[in-house]
Amino acid sequence: MLRNKTIVLGVSGGIAAYKAAALCSKLVQAGAEVRVIMTESATRFIAPLTFQTLSRHDVIVDTFDEKDASVVSHIDLADRADLIVIVPATANIIGKMAHGLADDMLSTTLLAATAPVIVAPAMNVHMYAHPAVMANMQTLADRGVLFVEPGTGQLACGYVGKGRLEEPEQIVEAIRRFFSEQGQLSGKKVLVTAGGTVERIDPVRFLTNDSSGKMGYAIAETARDMGAEVTLIAGKATAPVPRGVKVVSIESAHDMMKAVLERLADADVVIKAAAVADYRPAEQARQKIKKKSEEMTLTLVKNPDILQTIGSMKTTQFVVGFAAETERIDEYAMDKLQRKNCDLLVANDVTQEGAGFGTDTNVVRIYDKNGLVQALPVMTKQGVARELLNLVAERIGRGEGAN
């Protein structure tokens, strides 16, 4: 899996830098070509000679120490990398990455890189939990950076808590898993719906919901990274628009239905993560409705059920539905899956801490026709997307999805 892969290993200045040497050794033994960049602070904890010996390549520390006049080192390394791994990742390098700072060889290379990045944080428990650090990590996660979360245990500072660098064996496994996921959806066309719909009352007022679009956007980005050709049908959302996917912007449930049905026959996978309004105003005023009395009655009519329509029309498509519930999750999820002819259904309790609209995390349960398949703990929406799409890819590989 790692043979002939070029991995740039960035080592920043923390006591856990010694574990990066073990990681370097294991990656080389697995067949990877490892190029090491160290920060100046990292050299205070472990000598560059260690990594030079293990990797059999020069270790770069100084931005201006250009050993090969035919290339610019940080651009050359950024271009040739199949993956960049930061171990250990201090609060400082995480902050630089989040804010686009480039004041040493490692941060400059990261800014020039287009390769995927895996970050393994290591720091004091209070530093890890600091709002600034958490915000920086979320910024990176939103950009598609992957994290190997630190473990909980005795830290070098004497505290016991979360912040200990994950063991090299586990980081190698995360790297193997990353490469194994690449290309799992190559050649597949994935259609994703995301965000909330807007149902107009008049030109300045509308009905909608709290959906941020983050879950659907994370699915679209992850499917793209797994090699799929992705079309994202996006309603109202606050999340940044994913790069590298085709985005179709819509407003109402009717708009979304039309956009989905126009593309359904061409899709291999349909993932309906959008929060579609169940009802719309029976009439939409052409002009702003003026205030006239103490009360106003608004008549609502039912919107078309997009997921049920997809389920009734699908031929070979693998269909995944979502259900946001507040009670009796298992019962309602299985009922929805069966009524709407889904292959998988992802349900969550939006009242649960860490789940629901607008959050950066989610807690979901995934079902198929036989019942619960997987219950995921609190994790980032990107993490949920990876788990879900790995399951989809595995089942498509077995020929599931056809009527």
**Helix locations, 121-280, DSSP H:** 125-129, 131-142, 168-181, 214-225, 253-264
pLDDT along the chain (403 residues), means of 10: 92 95 96 96 97 96 77 83 95 96 95 92 92 92 86 67 87 90 89 95 91 92 92 91 91 96 96 94 92 88 95 95 91 95 93 77 92 90 90 89 58
> For domain 6-181, which CATH number applies: 3.90.1170.50, 3.40.50.1950, 3.30.70.20, 3.40.50.2300?
3.40.50.1950
In angstroms, rounded to a whole number, what is the distance separating the alpha carbons of residues 137 and 159? 22
**16 with 122: CB under 8 angstroms?**
yes
Please determine whether the domains at 6-181 and 189-397 fall in the same fold group of CATH: yes
Under 8 Å between Cβ of 344 and 366: yes
Supply 374's token pair.
Answer: 């997987």
| pLDDT the model gives residue 382 | 85
The residue among 95, 132, 109 whose CA lies nearest residue 7 is 109
Q: Which residues are annotated as a binding site for CTP?
A: 278, 288, 304-307, 322, 336, 340
Task: Specify the pLDDT at position 395.
Answer: 94
Q: What is the pTM of this model?
A: 0.74
- Chain-centroid distance of CA 80 in Å reads 24
Of 381, 307, 315, which Cα lies nearest the Cα of 344?
Answer: 307
Indicate the helix (H) or strand (E) that contains 392. helix 381-397
Per-domain boundaries in the chain: 6-181, 189-397
Q: Which residues are catalytic?
A: 157
Cα–Cα distance for residue pair 265/99, rounded to 1 Å: 42
What are 130's strand-pairing partners? none
Nearest to 313 by CA among 338, 342, 293, 349: 342
pLDDT the model gives residue 309: 96
Q: Specify the CATH superfamily of domain 189-397.
A: CoaB-like (3.40.50.10300)
Name residue 94's amino acid: I
- DSSP 8-state class, residue 243: T
